[in-house]
Chains A and B, each alone.
Chain A
Amino acid sequence: MYIRAASNISPQNTFGNQPFLQELVEYTGNKLTCIEPDYKSLIDPKLIRRMSRIIKMGVATGMDCLQQAGIEAPDAIVTGTAYGCLEDTNTFLSKLVLQNEEALAPTAFIQSTHNTISAQIALLLQCHRYNNTFVNGGASFENALLDAMMLLNEGDADTVLAGGIDEITPTSHAILSRMGLYHWPTTSNLNLLDNPEKETMAGEGSAFFLLSNKASGNDLAKIDAISCFYKPVGLSEIEQRINDFLSAQNIIINDIDAIINGKNGDVINDRIYKQLEQSLFANKQTINYKHLCGEYPTSSAFALWLAANAISNGSFPSAISTTDTPLKRVLIYNHYQNIHHSLILLSAC
């Protein structure tokens, strides 16, 4: 499956024509929030007025991705989002409680449905084709990718627009912090992974990809395989899953040039990665990414954007890695709260 184009709105300077992570943006608050473009140049102002932040982010990256790929409309649109449109949900729910179920306005309710982003893109493009939304926690984006892969293999689509998106709002941050996901921050996101403690930083982002089974000659990279697994019993199961995943592609770990992993700075969360670094991933180049975008369920979309661009450029940006290994194969391994684990294998075209 070829990645023809990729678009990313994130807490780093990643959207539009920008040098590839040349300078990293530092955050010293308790979360990383997206650097957003001027949406008016990308979305019809008549439609923007109703869109909350996450919808604007999703639509903008989706449309930008299509523009980059030179495609007017894809043959399918698939999105993954764990929390959906939180701001709209919060608005409607708050008014419902405060106004005691009286005199409520419809817009926030309509926008709160999880499929709004996929639907808005379809509406803007008048795209009548397959349209789906996965809302499966930390595997939402990977499920969307797998759906895309099946559509392309089935011959029902030549191009699929697939995206992963989640937002952090003051309300969700407050609640998730109380649940112990996000603790008080380190001094800066750039040090997040240096001294793992009981803390990670919240993040958010929207990344969309134009995928196809036909090489265009200008593709960023290829996705060879995707796998998700749920609540593995222990390290040996994780190692087994990774080995099975690679051998199904007729390769072994030595054939991988770099591993992008989902370390987030929380000592318990990162234990698995540390253990793998002693075993299966020993002596492999490992790249971290969550200090750039923060932790959120669909952060693997950021990781995919990073991997695809690195492969296309031939190397990772020096701000992220100083190793010069030619990048033929990159493996992304991430887990979200040890519930959903995912593997994405990319290779150079």
Chain B
Amino acid sequence: MEQPVFIAGLGVISAIGNTVAQNLLSLESGETGIAPIQYLDTEHRDEFPVGEVKSSNDELAELSGFKTVISRTAMLSLIAAKEALRDAGIENYANLRTGFISANTVGGMDKTEDFFRDFINDNTKGRLRNAINHECGAVTNLVADKLGIRNYVSTISTACSSSANAIMYGTRLIKNNLLDVVIAGGTDALTRFTLNGFNTLMILDKQPCQPFDANRRGLNLGEGAGYVVLVSERVAYSCSIKKEIYCSLSGYCNANDAYHQTASSPEGTGSLMAMEGALKRSGFQPADISYINLHGTGTQNNDSSEGAAISKLFAGHYPKMSSTKAFTGHTLGASGGIEAVYSALAVQKGMLYPNLRFETPMEGLPFTPETRFSKQPEIKHVLSNSFGFGGNCSSLIFSKL
């Protein structure tokens, strides 16, 4: 009954590049995307470094084919989803049962914020076209329509684990024989809403973040989109796919920390359950994991919680690990998708990414993250973590073919 699911295509846009190739170049050269705010119109412009995609809305409109009035979230999504589809090279995907499962947390909020500026004092004011795609699902529909996908279109929103859950859901739709191909992942644009929201929680770093460092001060917000093209075994080995498959998605799990609305439990209960569950489903042991792409936001709370869970689960066989959020910032709804792309590349090409700006090990943790990019051809299985508000914890395992 359990049929394998493979990854046939990748697409990503983030603070470190507008394509997979550009992202890879930055990861290899250690060039961070964290920088002072350049595009977002905010009172906090000079206060917090962020991982912005280095393109204006006009430039993204050109890249995506959307008009500039369309939400930045949708533009990022289309750019990455198109790249993933093109990369998979499935010639006849319109004739297969193809779905689009996209996740986001902000929807069209970047435009709604502009609408509200006029609406708030007079509810007959404000340009409606800025509010019309506010809902998370509306952003997905805009992109699905451009991709020409109609079989199954859905949107998931579970805070920072959103796109990991989208990938999981897509995988299960294939395993349940409801779809053959699924473009799955997520997107989020930087908005005043999220920047100010996270600021009220006092977990933003005023300097470039240092995940898993003893002196970490918080996270840097980021934006972007990341998608994988999931295919069934039948499609993977048919003549529909002309190029090498990246890897299989061998394990996944969604668990809930159920500790607090925004904070993770000190023992990392939800994180532990998500990682354990993913391993159980994959049939592999902790010792089989070569690399963990950490959730690693750089907050005191997440990193200790995730660290505690890893200490327990991987005791005796700590794999190499790093947080790529030091490159991209925390891209919220897109993080699971972007990091899935990085994880698939890591397992296929045999690479480890550095945890930038790491200096001092956290007390009590029997491991430290990687500080250099390296080629590791013996990498067989990569674990990617995404843990969010509301206790939503998800882990994915990518395996070499």
Contacts and interface: CB of A to CB of B under 8 A. Distances in A.
The answer to whether A and B touch directly, with their CB atoms under 8 angstroms apart, is yes
Contacts of B158: 114-115, 118, 131-133
Contacts of B155: 134-137
B367 interface: no
B197 interface: yes
A291 B175 CA distance: 40
Interface stretch (A24-32, A121-129, A279-287): A121-129
Interface string B177-205: 00000000000000011001101110000
B156 A83 contact: no
B128 A119 contact: no
A32 B391 CA distance: 33
A128 B152 contact: no
B43 A102 contact: yes
B132 interface: yes
Contact of B389 (A113, A140, A231): A113
A122 B159 CA distance: 15
A46 interface: no
Contacts of B140: 136
Given A94-B116, A96-B193, A109-B200, A131 B254 contact: yes
B293 interface: no
B154 A119 contact: no
Contact of B152 (A96, A140, A230): A230
A83 B175 CA distance: 30
Given A82-B137, A147-B169, A135 B156 contact: yes
A228 B152 contact: yes
Contacts of B153: 136, 230
A12 B173 CA distance: 36
Contacts of B150: 229-231
Contacts of A101: 42-44, 192, 196
A136 B169 CA distance: 14
Interface string B124-150: 100010011001111011001100001
A54 to B, nearest CB: 14
Contacts of A93: 112-113, 116, 193
A2 interface: no
B392 A131 contact: yes
A114 B157 contact: yes
A325 to B, nearest CB: 32
A329 to B, nearest CB: 22
Interface in B234-290: 254-262, 269-270, 273
B105 interface: yes
Interface stretch (A172-180, A188-196, A206-214): A172-180
Contacts of A120: 261, 390
A262 to B, nearest CB: 17
Interface string B217-246: 000000000000000000000000000000
A224 to B, nearest CB: 16
A135 B136 contact: yes
A150 B154 CA distance: 15
B317 interface: no
A105 interface: yes
A334 interface: no
Given A109-B200, A115-B159, A136-B137, A130 B254 contact: yes
Nearest to A180: B128
B164 to A, nearest CB: 11
B165 A132 contact: yes
Contacts of B258: 122-123, 125-128
Interface in A55-92: 77, 82-84, 92
Contacts of B157: 84, 113-115, 133-135
A31 to B, nearest CB: 15
Interface string A104-119: 1110011011111011
A98 B42 CA distance: 14
Contacts of A140: 137
B266 to A, nearest CB: 15
A339 interface: yes
A18 to B, nearest CB: 32
Contacts of B144: 230
Given A82-B135, A97-B116, A118-B390, A131 B256 contact: yes
A154 interface: yes
A179 to B, nearest CB: 6
Nearest to B165: A132
B391 A110 contact: no
B123 interface: yes
Contact of B141 (A133, A137, A178, A179): A137
Contacts of A143: 154
A106 B194 CA distance: 11
With a 10 A CB-CB cut-off, give which of B135, B173, B256 has the most chain A CB atoms.
Answer: B256
Contacts of A231: 145, 150
Contact of A139 (B112, B154, B176, B201): B154
Contact of B196 (A83, A104, A118, A135): A104
29 contacts: A83-B135, A96-B113, A97-B113, A98-B120, A101-B44, A102-B43, A104-B196, A104-B200, A106-B201, A109-B201, A115-B158, A115-B389, A118-B158, A120-B261, A122-B391, A129-B256, A130-B255, A131-B256, A132-B165, A132-B169, A136-B153, A137-B135, A143-B154, A175-B123, A178-B124, A178-B128, A179-B132, A229-B150, A230-B144
Given A116-B261, A150-B176, A178-B128, 10 more contacts: A96-B196, A100-B43, A119-B261, A133-B156, A134-B156, A135-B137, A137-B141, A147-B169, A179-B132, A230-B150
Interface of A: 77, 82-84, 92-94, 96-98, 100-102, 104-106, 109-110, 112-116, 118-120, 122-123, 125-137, 139-140, 143, 147, 150, 153-154, 171, 174-175, 178-179, 228-231, 339
Which 7 A-B residue pairings sit nearest by Cβ, starting from the closest?
A119-B390, A109-B197, A137-B137, A106-B200, A135-B136, A114-B157, A101-B43
